[in-house]
Structure 1
Amino acid sequence: MNIFTIGASGLIGSRIVELLSDKHTFQDLSLTSGVDITDPISLNGIKNDTEHPVVLHLAAKADVDGCEADKPFGKDGAAYKINVLGTQNVVDACRAGSKKLLYISTDFVFDGENTPENGYTEEDTPNPQNWYAQTKFEGEEIVRNAGIPYVIIRIAYPYRKDFELKKDFVRAVAGRLAQNQPVIGITDHIFTPTFIDDIALAIGTLLEKDATGIYHVVGSQSLSPYEASLLIAKVMGYDASLVGKTTREAFFKGRAHRPFNLSMNNAKIKQLGVPMRSFEEGLKEMI
Structure 2
Amino acid sequence: MKILLTGSSGQVGYELQRTLQGLGQVISLDRSQMDLSDLDQVRTVIRKVKPQLIVNPAAYTAVDLAESETELAMRINAQAPEVMALEARQLGAAIIHYSTDYVFDGEQAGSYAEDDLPNPQSVYGRSKLAGEQAIQAAGIPHLILRTSWVYGARGKNFLLTVRRLAQQRDELRIVADQFGAPTWCRTIAEATAHALIQMQRYSGTQQDAELDHEVWQSRGGLYHLTAQGRTSWHGLTQAILAHPSVSKKPRLTAIGTQDYPLPARRPANSSLSCERFMQTFCGLPAWDEALKLCQDGM
- State TM-score, norm by structure 1: 0.88
For 2:282, the aligned partner's letter is V
Alignment partner of 2:146: what SS? Answer: strand
8 Å Cα contact 1:150/1:212 also seen in 2: yes
- Asked if structure 1 preserves the Cα contact closer than 8 Å seen for 2:6 and 2:56, the reply is yes
Instruction: Answer with 41-50 or 104-113: which moved more.
Output: 41-50
Q: Is the 8 A contact 1:36 1:42 kept in 2?
A: yes
The answer to whether the Cα contact below 8 Å between 1:47 and 1:96 also exists between their aligned partners in 2 is no
CA contact (8 A) 1:189 1:248 kept: yes
**Equivalent position of 2:213 in the other structure:** none
Match among 65, 88, 94 for residue 82 of structure 2: 88
CA shift for structure 1 position 49: 4.7
Assess, with a 3 A threshold, how the Cα gap between structure 1 residues 236 and 127 changes in structure 2: closer, same or farther. Answer: farther
Encode CA deviations 1:78-119: one digit per residue, 9 max, x unaligned: 111211221211111111111101111001001100232xx1
Q: Is the 8 A contact 2:42 2:83 kept in 1?
A: no
Q: How many angstroms apart in 1 are the aligned matches of 2:146 and 2:59?
A: 13
Q: 2:143 and 2:74 mapped to 1: Cα distance?
A: 21
The sequence identity of aligned pairs, in percent, is 25
Partner of residue 18, structure 1: 18
Q: 2:237 aligns with which of 229, 234, 244?
A: 229
Quote how far apart the aligned CAs of 1:218 are: 0.3
SS at match of 1:271: helix
Asked if 1:97 is matched to 2:91, the reply is yes
Q: Tell me the SS of whatever aligns to 2:60.
A: coil
The alpha-carbon deviation at position 175 of structure 1 amounts to 2.5
List gaps (5 residues or longer) in structure 1: 72-76
Against the structure 1 CA distance between its residues 284 and 23, is the aligned structure 2 distance closer, same or farther, given a 3 Å change threshold?
same
State how far apart, in whole Å, the 2-side matches of 1:154 and 1:266 are: 9
Q: CA deviation at 1:182?
A: 2.4
Bigger relative contact order, structure 1 or 2 (CA pairs below 8 A, ≥6 apart): 2
Shift of 1:25: 2.9
- Structure 1 distance, partners of 2:281, 2:89, is 30
- Confirm or deny: 8 A CA contact 1:46 1:97 kept in the other structure: no
- Cα distance, 1:23 vs structure 2: 3.5
Distance 1:44 1:96, change over 3 A: farther
- What is the rounded CA distance, in whole Å, between the counterparts of 1:122 and 1:53 in structure 2? 26
1:250 aligns with 2:239: no
Contact 2:64–2:264, Cα closer than 8 Å, also in 1: yes
8 Å contact from structure 1 (residues 115, 262) kept in 2: no
**261-270 vs 31-40, which moves further:** 31-40
Task: Give the alignment partner of residue 151 of structure 1, picking from 143, 146, 153.
Answer: 143
Structure 2, unmatched stretches of 5+, are: 200-218
What code does the residue aligned with 1:282 have?
Answer: A
Is 1:193 matched up with 2:182?
Answer: yes
Letter in structure 1 aligned against 2:54: V
Task: Provide the aligned length of Structure 1 versus Structure 2.
Answer: 275
Taking structure 2 as the reference length, what is the TM-score of the superposition?
A: 0.85
Pair 140,103 (structure 1): closer, same or farther in 2 beyond 3 Å: same
Matches of 2:242 and 2:151 in 1, distance apart? 17
SS in 2 for 1:249: helix
- Written as runs of structure 1 = structure 2, the 5 A alignment for 1:43-58 is 43-47=43-47, 49-50=49-50, 52-58=51-57
> How far apart are 1:36 and its partner, in Å?
4.5
Letter in 1 for 2:39: D
Per-residue CA distance 1:248-273 (angstroms, 9 max, x = gap): 122124x1111111111112222245
Residue of structure 2 equivalent to 1:60: 59
Match of 1:279 among 287, 292, 295: 287
Distance in 2, Cα, partners of 1:200 & 1:104? 11
Equivalent residue for 1:183, pick from 172, 177, 201: 172
Distance 1:234 1:17, change over 3 A: same
